[in-house]
Structures are given as C-alpha cells and as structure tokens.
Structure 1
Amino acid sequence: MTETIRRAERVRASELVGRGWLNTGGKQVSLEDLRGKIVILDFWTFCCINCLHVLDELRPLEERFSDILVTVGVHSPKFEHEADPDALAAAVERYEIAHPVLDDPNLVTWQAYSARAWPTLVVVDPQGYIAASLAGEGHVAGLTSLVEELAAEHEAKGTLHRGDGPYVPPEPVSRTLRFPGKAVPVTRDLGGQADSLGNFLVSDTGHHRIVELDPDLQTVVRSWGGGEDQEKGHHDGAADDARFNEPQGLTVLPEALSAQVGYDIVVADTVNHRLRGINTSTGSVTTLAGNGVQRLLDAERARAGAVESGSLGLDPLNVSLSSPWDVLWSETLGLVVVAMAGTHQIFTFDPRTGELSIFAGTGLEGLLDAEADAAWFAQTSGLTEDAAGDLWIADSETSSLRVIRTGAAAEAAQPAVETLVGEGLFDFGFRDGEPGQARLQHPLGVTALPDGSVLVADTYNGAIRRYRGEHLAADGTTVAAEVSTVARGLKEPSDVLLDADGTSLLVVETNAHELVRIAIPEDYLTVDEGASQTQRPTTAVAPGEFSLDIGFAAPTGQKLDDRWGDPTQLKISSSPENLLLDGGGNSEGLHRTLRLNPEVTEGVLHITARAAACDGAPGEEIPMHAACHLYQQDWGIPVRLEEGAQTELTLDLRGVR
C-alpha cells in the first residue's frame, strides 16, 4: 500500500498567499525566505479541537529541531467568524502559537495544496519540494522520523541551512483575566469562608489558573495554579505551586460529598487531558482522573468498527482523556458529567469511587440523534441540567443545541439524544424563530433557567440566545417553541449564567478578557441574518460509478497491524442521503467504488478513514506488547455533479514522498 501513494516525481510547493501574516513582526514571508529549512505547513482553523491538538503535538518537535524546522500555520477558516482578522489574532495569542501564521481567509493557499480537511499537514523539504501530506492528528512520531531523514539527506547535500526562522514573538500584555473560559457562582461556604457566598469561580484559561472573583467581577479573592508567572503545566500541590494547562469547565460538589471525598471543586484541565480537584480549605490541588495522554479510540475497536461504552474502570489515573471542556455536577445522576470535546462524547465521573464511564456518544464526529450510546456529537463544549433533570449540551462544531433526556420524562428507557437547534457540521448562521429553522454559530456555553428555557452562549455570533420549548401562556393558549436573541455585540462569549439577583445575566466574554453583567431585556431581539454553510471549494464529479482511494503509508518504524485482518476502514455517507446510490456504510479497506445519483446536482460526501499501525519493522512480526497507533480523519467533500467530470478521488490519510 505504501508504494501506491509515493509520488512518482517531485512536486514543487506552491507559494504562500493570503491576506497577511501574524507572528512575523509585520513582515511578509515567502517560500524563498524558507529555503534551506524543513517546513511544516499546518492548515488549521481555530474552532477545531483536532487542530488545537496538533498545535500541542508540534511544540516539542519545534523545540527539538528549532534550528532547521519552521512551522507555518495556514489559517483557513471554517466559520464566518474565523475569517475576522481580529478574531484570528486573538486566537493566535490565546493558544500561545510560537510560529508564523498566514491568514488565508479565501482558502487560496488551502486550494493550492489541495487541502480538504482540518487539520492537514504538508511537509516541504529544504529545496522547496513537497515531501509528505498528512491529514488529522497523531502524526508526531512519523513527523519526527521524516524530519530526521530530511535533515540527514539535505545536510549531506549541503542544502540544509541552520539558524533562526522568521518567528517574532508578540509583546506581552498584562491583564487581570486572560481569555476566561467558564464561570460558576459560589452558592455555599467554600473552605469555611462564608464571605465567599455571592462570589464567582472562574477558569482564567489564558493564565492557566482558577480564580475566585468578588461580585464586582474585578477583584481576585484567591486563586489556584499559575503562580506569579502564570505558568502552565501539570503539578499537584498547594495553591501557588499547582499548575494547570488551559483549564475550562468547573463545578462545585455538594457539601456532604466534598466532606467525603476531600475536595470541593472539579476542574476540566483541558490541555492536560485531566480532571483536577481543589480543596478550598487547604488550597491543595490533586489529579482526579486522566494520565495526561490524549485519548484516541483504540486500534482494535477501530478495526472492528466497535464503539466503547460503559465503565472505563476504577483506576481513573490510568485512563486517557481527551480535552475535557466542561464539567457539571448532575443531581439527577449523582455524578460529575464531562463534555469530552476531543472524542466527541459525554463521560461521567463518580467522585466516591473514581469510576469513569462513557455516558453518550460513539466517538464519531457529526450530528446523529439516537439512544445515548449510538448518538454522534461534535466537540461537546457546554453543559447544564434543567429542573427536570435533563442534560443540555452546546455541541459546538455542529452549531447545535442538544439535550439528553435523563430526567423524569426518560423514565426507565435508555437516555436519548435530541437536537433542538442545528443541522450539521457545516451548517450555521444567525437566525431566530422556529427551532428547526434557527441557526447558531459555534456555541460554547449553556445554562438552564427556572422557567424551563435555556440560554446559549452563541460564541461566534457574539450573542446570547434563548431557546424556549412549547409552553402554555398565562391565558392557557399554547405557545410554539422558538429561539430568540437576548444580547449581541459581545466578543466571543463562552459561558452565560443567571446572576444572583435573578434580573441580570453574567457573561464570560472571552475575547474581552472579562466577566460582564447584562440586563435581561423585557422584549428580546429578533434576528435573521440567514443560514450559511461552510464555503469550501466544490469538486466536480461525474454521476454514476465513482472510485475513492485513501492513501496511507505507515511511518518509519511502524507497520500496518494486520494480525487480525485488514487494519484499515472506511465509513461513507452523504448529504443529501440520495446523492449516494451505492457504496455507503462501513467496510474494511481504503478503496471504495461509489455510485452517485445523476438526479442530484450537488451535495457533500462524508468520509471517515482509519488505519492501525504498530511499532515494528516491515517483514517482521509485531511484538506482543508493541505500541500501536490509530490514524483517523473525517472529510466533508462538497461535490457538484457534472457529466464528463472526474470519476475518481484520492485523499491522503498519510501520504509520503
């Protein structure tokens, strides 16, 4: 399989074209400026959790090969908001990106390199030729081997130039809060401090700490993590010594339970891929769950097409998690609920036993309503529980508001997932009205109100929205469900909650680096700025028989894991469903013959490819305890059907020169 995707001839890398550059001190950068360096082009977009994982995967590689390797982030936006240059600049600062970034809002460079998925990595050798194309995350081992090979080859040829690259660090800015993520009210004594009542606990994400804020929303009463230099990392201990890495969600446990388990607050320590606990009496921070290794679906389950569900065991410190984004104490379940953004699932954690379980989601990315263990999510990012005990979810990548019926209405049945607002991975907008027609844009936060309605921090629309289901008016008439706008003009609000007085809202305004109060208007706004789809270039394809091939080459030092059969798998579907007459579904192998409907003019092919490889040399048996790796990528390929157009498509999961 490796030989089928090796390039028969060297392909010259295309010039880097966009609106401008960040992290270069205002200078433009060309490929000629990078000649002599090994270059990794990282095609990313700042909404994408997989792209954020790749940023962290690349950091040690960039540090190790700092004199010969240059990473260039090519920001090719998915959502309309991401094309805003100010929003991009904020994201580059927020995620502490220490390499040049090309702003490519019109996808010019994206198209030149035939990128089709976020993230995509393209390696360019010191002479300006493409050495590899990689889709998805988890490629750091293979990239390390490739960089070593290229360095040796071009050192011998005299075409490798050592020295600094074009990165220019920005000037630091001092702030009380830096890109805060989530907030919860203090509703009980914490650590015996009665004067904490009415305060707010906030994840000061950019400073890698948790803070307690006075009701004035400015005064920091106390904090945990970060230290004087706001350092990130992972370290348990006293408040000043502890370290977090971009913490997001947090929740306060019931007082009796806190006394039993020895901590009061549970924190989603997102980039550390861990859950942490804070004892507010002693100030100590402990690790509750997670081993710090980012969780992927394991190779055997990927090969079989199986889905993990149920308990992950009673040793939480040996379980891998993936970017937990929010946490919530559920009175109904008697458990901590975790929005596991990185695997598109909902987990639960039992503080009494340490047991972790998968509560909902298969791990496949998308929008599919079903019973909890069969549903699909896409970057679950916000949680709230209503008075009936149902769990509400901000599912950010599908721009949707979803609910898991776990309360009284669910009775003894398997909890089921229902979408109230949202259409899919590439559909978004800013539209009020009937829920089926309403649109959001990458929401990150939700909160249930006493009247049964739900507020949504509609992050990329810069708005607070309200969903209210069908209900009876004061005169007994039935009022239809609707979505309305409570406030707009905010800078990436990532969380919202009802203030203690019940007459105002507290909003975590992330890109303004503050918490703000806004009055609840008597009459909500009505907004209709339309529904949109992610605008990616369409591919002209011929109706009828159509061939699809996914290129994959195992990295140096790995081989395909064929001990139990074919270690590769394709899952294919389409929007609309009748675009695909034949060839959909799951099957082994990375080749599929499809049949496209001539009566459909355009649509999207949804493709998921997986391959399992293990450490080992070609021709040798894989050792029993060898480390194995799962490579996976999802593509959404917009197509238009035209007679005489191409009848085949090749995508690279991992293509090497």
Structure 2
Amino acid sequence: MTSRVRAPELPAGPWLNTGEAGLRLTDLRGKVVLLDFWTFCCVNCLHVLDELRPLEAKYGDALVVIGVHSPKFAHERDHEALTAAVERYGVAHPVLNDADLTVWDAYAARAWPTLVLIDPDGYVVATMAGEGHADSLDRIVGDLVDRHARAGTLDTGPGPYTPPPVPETTLRFPGKAVPTPGGGLLVADSAHHRIAHLAADGETLIRTYGAGERGHRDGGPGEAAFNEPQGLCVLPAEVASRVGYDVVVADTVNHRLRGLRLSDGHVTTVAGSGDPWRSQVDDEAHDALTTDLSSPWDVAWYDGRVVVAMAGIHQLWWFDPIGARTGVYAGTTVESLRDGPIPDVWLAQPSGLAVDGDRLWFVDAETSALRRVEAGVMHTAVGQGLFDFGHVDGPAGDALLQHPLGVAVLPDGRIGIADTYNGAVRCYDPAENTVSTLATGLAEPSGLTVDGDRVWVVESAAHRLTPLRGTETVVGGHAQQVVRSATPLAPGALVLEVVFTPPPGRKLDDSFGPPTRLTVTSDPPELLAEGAGEGTDLTRRLRVADGVPSGVLQVVAQAASCDIDVPNPACHLTRQDWGVPVTVTRDGEDRLTLMLHGHDG
C-alpha cells in the first residue's frame, strides 16, 4: 500500500452491541478503528475473534473494533440468528449487520476473515486476510496509539460498545451431547464454558463440570475451566481404566482435548499445547501434549482410537489416549471437497462425527456435506461444494444441506443429520441413497445423540435438548449458492498476485525452505487452461479458458516470517484460502490482486 486511502463510511445499520445506536466513522475520529469482516459460520473468523480479545483489553477505548458481519449462508443474513451468534461467541464490540455485503464490496473484501485497520485520521493503514495477525496488529496499533498520543490527536474517551442483557437459562448454546454409562446425558454447555450432566429426561440438571468461566485450568469440577467446549466421546471401559478418565472433551477454543473422570469430576488436559496450529502437515505421530491443535469440534471412538474433527484446519486427526500420541488422519488443510484415499483428501470444517461399524460418518459444514470414511477411502454421500447449499430432499446426488454440524446413526440404521442452518433434522438412507426430512422448525440444531430408542436433538439456539419428533417428509426446496460480487476476468493471460508485506519487525523466513507457497485450482477445473497447481512464488501466470462463462478461482497462499532484532525470534505462518467468484468476459481484467498482508508503514 503506497497511498493514503480514506476509509469508506459505514451505513446506518442495523447494529448490535451499541444500544441500538448507529455508528459513523466520522464520529470515531481520534480512535484507532479495526474493521473485522467475518461470518459466523467460518471457524477462521472465530479464531480471529479470540485473537482480538487481548488487543481490545490492552488498548482499551483507544482501539474500537467493529465486526462487519458479511454473511456466506442465507441463514446468516437473519438478524436474530446474528444476534444469537454475537452472544454465543462472546463478541464484546459493536457489530454491523452487512446482510447485503454492501460494506464488503466498498472495502473490496474477498475473503473471510479480512481485517482493515483505520488510523485516527480516518485513513486505511493496513489490510490483511486470514488469521494469525495478532502480533502484527499489536505492533501497528501500538505505533498508531503512541504517535497520535504524542500529537494530541488520540481519543481515549469511552468507546461505543454497549453490552446486551443475557437471559439466565440452564444451558446456553449447548454444542453436543452423549449418553453417560451410568445414565442420563452429558452435554457440552458451550457458552457456559462447562460440561453439564442431565437426567434421562433431558432437562433436570444433576451436576456440572467446570467453573463456568472462559479459560483453561485443570482440577476438580468446581475448579476446572473450559473455553466453548463442543464434542464428547465416552471411552471404552478398558481404555478408561488405563488412562484414568472416562470422557474426551473437545475443548474447542482452547485448542485442546481434555479428559473428564466421571467418578469425581476431575478434568485434565490430554492433548494440545494450547497454541493454534500454524505448522506444516506431516504424517508422523507426535507427543499429544506438545502438539498444536486447531478448534477440535467433535470426537469419536473409531478403529481403536479417538478421531478428532479438527475444524480449524479442515482435517480429521487421531488421538491415542494410551500412548498419548496424536497425528493427522485425513485432509491436507486445503478447504474444499475432494474424495479418494486418505489422507490426501480435501475437507471443509468437519464438525460432527458418528461411527457405524467400520464406517466413520462426518458432516463437513462449509461444503454442506455428509461424508464417510470406509476401508481407508473417503466418499461424499450428500454435498456439492463450498458454495452450494439448500434444503432439497430426494436422490442423494441432488440433495442439499445448509451448514450441518451434527450427525448420528439412528436406531433404524439410517444416518441422522443436524442440518443446522436449515433448522432441521435430515436423514440419509445408505441402502436407498436418498435423503428425507425428519423435523423442521428447530433453532440451530448442532448435535444428535441416541439414548436407547430415543433420539435427542441438541437445539443450540433454543438452549435445550429436544426429543426428535415429527413426520418424515420429502422437501422439494431449491438450490442456493453463496452470493458475492463476481470479478470479471478476460479470457487468456491472467497475472495472479498475492501481496504479502512482512509486518514491522519481521522478515521472510527461509530457514525451513521457501518462505511462501501458492496453490491455485478452479471450479470447474476447465476454467483454467493453464497455471493450476502448487508453487513457491506468490505471483502466478494463469490462462483463463475461453468458453467457460463463470466459476470460482480457489487460491491458497501462505507466508512464513520471523522476528528480527530480538534475542529469541519467533516464527509466524500466515495463511489464507480464497474462493473468488469470477465471470469471463472480453472486457474483464487481466490481473487479479489478493491481499494477504499489506501495510502502509
């Protein structure tokens, strides 16, 4: 970035966390303003929310973070759904509902998440895509605060955030549930940051595990702390007796697995360093406690070990409780849908697991897909890609879901799906290869569990467990796609450039090989006549096919950098996936620039 650009003004609303008042950038002169373009389905956006919390605490009212919620799925355009998500994820700053992507387009955002930093004079000083920018933001914000404080142009008065009231309920945005060996149901009470033990009626609270505050701490039931826990896996009795705990908990925002002993409620950390994953993929087994994980969302016992839905990096992992080792099971970290022999497959935010004999079923939230692993090969039963969704029943090849988060093997052997953003429970019949609808009108169902002949729905946004009821139907529905402004490209030669400027105090790190990597694919594949594949240069010459009217250019870029001029330099990996909708037209562009990290020093 080489010229000063005035930040486009924000619209009138609707707003959240402002006491219903609107915000204008002109009213925030003197503040450092950070726009966070996010959508609540996106796990990388949720990572950024957690990365920003320490910055908000450090700089107080000198820094105003504004969440610009620019939705991917149709359900996310609903204002009530956004209101629930803001509470669910503890968003403690103003949020603008950019339902029609007006602000997204005004700031030329192309990826979730995108961060735009605005100085106290109202000029854009940095733009960055993806997660992992907290250290860079700290340096830049600190410099802006110092400079404007010295110049007398920094406003440290009260900020615009107004916290909303939070109702008291037994559960708050529960995630997953499992039957306990001694009876009743164990529930991940996610927004209360604890595990709840309910009686067999699904309502009566027997006991809780965890202090009920966001954090990480081992210990007894009143001392331990979780951070938005999700999945639960009851270990086989013989394994539990050897390792000293009965249940593995996916402690999602702590990037850890925890072990819960039911006899006395003691909680211990069994996997995860606590740092989010930022390294390269390998097929080695690693010490579980020193390995970085990334938003483990669900866990299930399969093939003699725990399989982990590692939503944050679009993979399945395995965890051996007895050997205390962990590693990659399936996926390359590329966010897309590709089947075949594991581990060289593509996933997109796996969020729910279920085991049916020698088959492992899972829902892939961002591709709105139901998939399975069988005999070492991954297959997609329902789902068409990153940008296709809907509520359509019938033959599985035509059926559509919308961001499902839960799955279970039903008593009759069919596969139940918590079709979260459709507010429905769906059913896949492997014998007939068809999909039907079992229940509708639910509030963001995020999990299913079977207790004997009863099926429970974790109705997350209604803060309860609900018995599955309803009349099975076949919904005709209609197909939908993610709607974003398409970039016009000319057929023929195209220069793709990903901009990465090392943040202040860092340089590119080539100590482990080339510091940058670029992977380019397209949907449909015929969109690119030349240039698809992997390489180490962030600039790539492509050739757009003539005769393919439109498609999606899929770009994955990463850059490694390290600190300079410090005694113990740290290494950092910046990575982002883009799905850029394009149309091919004679008067289109012959150059496409994507911003991984740009800073006007």
Is 1:124 the equivalent of 2:118? Answer: yes
Please give the alpha-carbon distance, in whole angstroms, between the structure 2 residues aligned to 1:181 and 1:572.
35
Of 187, 193, 196, 1:202 maps to 187
Equivalent pairs, count: 600
Please give the alpha-carbon distance, in whole angstroms, between the structure 2 residues aligned to 1:538 and 1:311.
42
TM-score normalized with structure 2 length:
0.98
How far has the Cα of 1:566 moved from its partner?
Answer: 3.6
1:106 counterpart letter in structure 2: D
In the alignment, structure 2 segments of 5+ residues that lack a partner are none
Other-structure match for 2:309: 339
Of 514, 525, 538, 1:590 maps to 538
Other-structure match for 1:545: 493
Q: Based on CA coordinates, which of the two structures has the bigger radius of gyration?
A: 1
Please give the alpha-carbon distance, in whole angstroms, between the structure 2 residues aligned to 1:38 and 1:584.
40
3-state DSSP of counterpart to 1:442? coil
Of 238, 259, 268, 2:241 maps to 259
Asked if 1 retains the 8 angstrom alpha-carbon contact of 2:13 and 2:22, the reply is no
How far has the Cα of 1:18 moved from its partner?
Answer: 6.0
Other-structure match for 2:293: 321
1:209 counterpart letter in structure 2: R
Please give the alpha-carbon distance, in whole angstroms, between the structure 1 residues aligned to 2:412 and 2:442.
25
3-state DSSP of counterpart to 2:216? coil
Of 68, 73, 79, 1:85 maps to 79
Is 1:628 the equivalent of 2:571? Answer: yes
Of 294, 318, 326, 2:276 maps to 294
How far has the Cα of 1:19 moved from its partner?
Answer: 4.0
Deviations 1:561-603 (A, max 9, x none): 1345541121111111111001111111111111111111111
Other-structure match for 2:449: 497
Q: 1:424-443 counterparts in 2 under 5 A?
A: 424-443=385-404
Of 95, 100, 110, 2:94 maps to 100
Other-structure match for 1:402: 371
3-state DSSP of counterpart to 1:249? strand
How far has the Cα of 1:251 moved from its partner?
Answer: 1.3
Other-structure match for 1:360: 330
Other-structure match for 2:460: 510
Is 1:605 the equivalent of 2:553? Answer: yes
Asked if 2 retains the 8 angstrom alpha-carbon contact of 1:310 and 1:359, the reply is no
Asked if 1 retains the 8 angstrom alpha-carbon contact of 2:37 and 2:67, the reply is yes
Q: 1:467-546 counterparts in 2 under 5 A?
A: 467-470=428-431, 480-500=432-452, 502=453, 504-519=454-469, 521=471, 524-546=472-494
Of 296, 309, 313, 2:283 maps to 309
Asked if 2 retains the 8 angstrom alpha-carbon contact of 1:180 and 1:204, the reply is yes
How far has the Cα of 1:450 moved from its partner?
Answer: 4.3
Please give the alpha-carbon distance, in whole angstroms, between the structure 2 residues aligned to 1:444 and 1:454.
13
Please give the alpha-carbon distance, in whole angstroms, between the structure 1 residues aligned to 2:488 and 2:204.
58
Please give the alpha-carbon distance, in whole angstroms, between the structure 1 residues aligned to 2:83 and 2:178.
28
Please give the alpha-carbon distance, in whole angstroms, between the structure 2 residues aligned to 1:561 and 1:346.
28
Asked if 2 retains the 8 angstrom alpha-carbon contact of 1:386 and 1:449, the reply is no
Please give the alpha-carbon distance, in whole angstroms, between the structure 2 residues aligned to 1:646 and 1:348.
45
Deviations 1:88-146 (A, max 9, x none): 00000111110000000000000000000000000000000000000000000100010
CA gap 1:18/1:639 in 2 versus in 1, 3 angstroms: farther
Other-structure match for 2:218: 236
Please give the alpha-carbon distance, in whole angstroms, between the structure 2 residues aligned to 1:158 and 1:614.
33
How far has the Cα of 1:153 moved from its partner?
Answer: 2.2
How far has the Cα of 1:256 moved from its partner?
Answer: 2.2
Deviations 1:608-636 (A, max 9, x none): 1111101115xxxx98x732111111111
Q: 1:155-194 counterparts in 2 under 5 A?
A: 155-186=149-180, 188-189=181-182
Other-structure match for 2:346: 376
Q: 1:34-53 counterparts in 2 under 5 A?
A: 34-53=28-47
CA gap 1:218/1:575 in 2 versus in 1, 3 angstroms: same
Asked if 1 retains the 8 angstrom alpha-carbon contact of 2:12 and 2:22, the reply is no
3-state DSSP of counterpart to 1:366? coil
How far has the Cα of 1:498 moved from its partner?
Answer: 2.9
Asked if 2 retains the 8 angstrom alpha-carbon contact of 1:18 and 1:109, the reply is no
Asked if 2 retains the 8 angstrom alpha-carbon contact of 1:308 and 1:362, the reply is no
3-state DSSP of counterpart to 1:210? strand
In the alignment, structure 1 segments of 5+ residues that lack a partner are 1-5, 190-196, 302-306, 471-479
3-state DSSP of counterpart to 1:528? coil
3-state DSSP of counterpart to 2:61? coil
Q: 1:215-230 counterparts in 2 under 5 A?
A: 215-226=200-211, 230=212
Please give the alpha-carbon distance, in whole angstroms, between the structure 2 residues aligned to 1:134 and 1:495.
34
Of 501, 504, 516, 1:568 maps to 516
Of 406, 424, 446, 1:445 maps to 406
Asked if 2 retains the 8 angstrom alpha-carbon contact of 1:134 and 1:652, the reply is yes
Larger mean CA deviation between 364-373 and 439-448 belongs to 364-373
TM-score normalized with structure 1 length:
0.90
Please give the alpha-carbon distance, in whole angstroms, between the structure 2 residues aligned to 1:563 and 1:272.
29
Q: CA RMSD in A?
A: 1.4
Asked if 2 retains the 8 angstrom alpha-carbon contact of 1:505 and 1:520, the reply is no
